[in-house]
Chains A and B, each alone.
Chain A
Amino acid sequence: QVQLVQSGAEVKKPGASVKVSCKVSGYTLTELSMHWVRQAPGKGLEWMGGFDPEDGETIYAQKFQGRVTMTEDTSTDTAYMELSSLRSEDTAVYYCATGPLDLWYFDLWGRGTLVTVSS
């Protein structure tokens, strides 16, 4: 059974960084194209970035360029999303979402990690 297990909720102060993890089970990370999507309270879904298997690079939404870093540890099949210079508007649930390398859509999602930014 394929699962994405995310790390627990975080509370951070403005200006700090947060690193959210997403562990894959039932697949290896190298078989998947991992993406990150966030959802502010009461708002819609927002794609932050993800792995592009066509060129082997991670692509970031322009809005988050320079502030987000997505990495993978293939030895533990764990993906990470680090967001820096946090502000209150970054308070949101952060989801990892994925699908097989040869497919573009997200047929598997983690349960989400709530990140609260508050002084």
Chain B
Amino acid sequence: EIVLTQSPATLSLSPGERATLSCRASQSVSSYLAWYQQKPGQAPRLLIYDASNRATGIPARFSGSGSGTDFTLTISSLEPEDFAVYYCQQRSNWPPFMYTFGQGTKLEIK
């Protein structure tokens, strides 16, 4: 099973600052990497797919990069509504296609 490790576990920043979240895979996932945002009491929302493509309706301040085993989600200038938990997700390259999530990074207001 491919393990995704997210860091840091908690990130404390102020509105207007830049956030950089990391996701590392235990083996290559090519570009099968997605990022989700989850707010309390809500379902996750897709932000980024295929490592660097923004989902429909996602603001341009969100960007994703990386391939293989190391991936980054960057929020260029934090808005108050961006404080939430972020998860990365992968799908294996070869069948059977298994999925795993990282343990999450909590982005909190400093």
Chain A contacts of B104 at CB under 8 A? 44-45
Interface status of B22 (Cβ within 8 A of chain A): no
Given A59-B96, A110-B43 in contact, is the A44-B32 Cβ separation under 8 Å? no
CB distance from A64 to the nearest CB of B (A): 12
Tell me if B97 and A107 are in contact (CB < 8 A): no
Chain B contacts of A59 at CB under 8 A? 96-98
Tell me if B1 and A62 are in contact (CB < 8 A): yes
Tell me if B102 and A44 are in contact (CB < 8 A): yes
> In the complex the two chains form, what is the Cα distance from A15 to B99 in whole Å?
27
Tell me if B95 and A105 are in contact (CB < 8 A): no
Among the stretches A47-55, A66-74, A81-89, the one at the interface with B is: A47-55
Q: How many residues of B contact A (CB 8 A)?
A: 26
Tell me if A46 and B49 are in contact (CB < 8 A): no
B interface residue numbers (CB < 8 A to A): 1, 32, 34, 36, 38, 43-46, 49-50, 55-56, 87, 89, 91, 95-104
Given A44-B102, A44-B104, A112-B43 in contact, is the A105-B97 Cβ separation under 8 Å? no
Chain A contacts of B36 at CB under 8 A? 45, 106
Tell me if B46 and A105 are in contact (CB < 8 A): yes
Say which residue of B50, B95, B99 sits within 8 Å of A55 (CB atoms).
Answer: B95
A interface residue numbers (CB < 8 A to B): 35, 37, 44-47, 50, 52, 54-55, 59, 61-62, 95, 97, 103-107, 109-112
Chain B contacts of A54 at CB under 8 A? 95, 97
CB distance from B8 to the nearest CB of A (A): 15
